[in-house]
Amino acid sequence: MTSTERFGAAPVADVGTSESAWQQWFSTRGEIPMLEVDVERLVVLAAHPDDEILGAGGMMIAAAAAGIEVVTVCLSDGSASHPGSPTHSPEDLAAIRRGELDAATDILGVEHSVWGGLPDGALTTADGAMTRIVESVLDERPDMITGVLSVWEHDGHPDHEAVGRCASKITRERGLPLWFYPIWLWHWAIPGEDTIEWDALRAHRLDDGAMATKKAAVEAFASQIHPLSDAEADQVVLPAHILERLLRRHEYVFSR
């Protein structure tokens, strides 16, 4: 069964695997190797506005502090976060979410994201467009040693997986280093299950300053962490039990 099939159509309909279960597993697994990013330029790929902050905000902070040029690319417009909303049209949501992402990157201290603007929820049919966007960003600085940090290709959300597959194909063709950050893995996976390449996991620890900055950046996504209205279709997309798993002291990537 694929992660997408396991994840289902309603990803936050239940609480998923608790953060306490993950922490217990981390404590018994043994030391996870620390992430080493030896590049001059880091291109960070997200499917939706907020993926990159939730999954890799601390890594971006550290990379920028180390003098690495950080370029973030958001492929979709985020317009499908609240389908059927009685208060916000998809066009409204796209504008809101782009503004939130710009505010979040300002807080992190990196440049505003390259905005792909592709239809949210339809990235599985947009491989050609995504490839052109990502390759154009990579081609901007051919003189720099570049690595790619992408949302994971087995994350359980079709858009996430489409971006991950795109990243995998491009980096393989160009011989670039690639790291995958998971988002929804922490919701649906069973800690230690043997279908996941845990040996490829690498850790990045956030210090107190980075933790505070990441949390402030996440707060910029008001449309996702607070209800848009009292209507059922306007409820929170990222409730507390989801954020708990994404605002932990360590961020994790799968090294390719």
- Express each pLDDT in 97-125 by its tens digit: 999 999 999 999 999 999 999 999 999 99
- pTM for the full predicted model: 0.95
Q: What is the mean pLDDT of residues 168-175?
A: 98
Distance between terminal CA atoms of the chain? 22
Residue 123 CA to residue 162 CA, distance in Å, equals 6
pLDDT of residue 2: 42
Summarised one tens digit per residue, pLDDT across range 149-169 is 999 999 999 999 999 999 999
180 bridge partner residues: 150, 254
Residue 140 CA to residue 171 CA, distance in Å, equals 15
pLDDT of residue 13: 54
Summarised one tens digit per residue, pLDDT across range 44-91 is 999 999 999 999 999 999 999 999 999 999 999 999 999 999 999 999
Q: What is the mean pLDDT of residues 171-179?
A: 98
pLDDT of residue 256: 86
SS3 helix, strand, coil % of the chain, rounded to 5?
45, 15, 40
Cβ distance 148 to 41 under 8 Å? no
pLDDT of residue 10: 41
